[in-house]
Amino acid sequence: MKVAVACDHAGFGLKETVLNKIKALGHEAIDCGAQDAQRVDFPDYAAKAGALLQNGQADRAVLICGSGIGMCIAANKLRGVYACVCHDAYSAHQGVEHDAMNALCLGALIIGKNLAEELVERFLNASYFNEGNYKKRVDKILALEAKI
């Protein structure tokens, strides 16, 4: 799996941990920046990773800012990107399984490195169920998105 990773200045300190975990799990990590802790605007980096999801160059994305919220809001403005802030293990896999989440948003000022590694692993090991009520509900999300 190819995984785009993007952060802003607040998320920079957690980015290397995330990149290393993705690689340790046998996936390809695509570093979309930021490349240092200098102040930057998170929407620019959400857009970089989101574009890779949109054009099929990435299968999933991990987006990191201070709280995870800004990245999540920005990413969800991009058609075909389904981002959620997850700071617990259940949500990190359940969002994929039930809701076809393809972007995990993390708050570097909220969680530590060990939890970030666990969340990334749960997120990447999960698969969308794509049947029954799960499919019906995601199809309804796609129909809402088509109206935009």
Does residue 7 carry a catalytic annotation?
no
Task: Give whole-number Cα distances, 56 to 2, 35, 61, 132, in Å.
Answer: 9, 23, 11, 26
* 3-class SS shares of the chain: helix, strand, coil, % to 5: 50, 15, 35
- Sequence-distant (≥ 6) Cβ neighbours of residue 2 within 8 angstroms: 27, 28, 30, 52, 57, 58, 59, 60
Q: How far apart are CA 54 and CA 68, in angstroms?
A: 20
Q: CA 60, CA 4: separation in Å to the nearest integer? A: 6
Active site residue 98: yes
- The single residue of 32, 65, 72, 84 carrying the catalytic annotation is 65
Catalytic positions, please? 65, 98
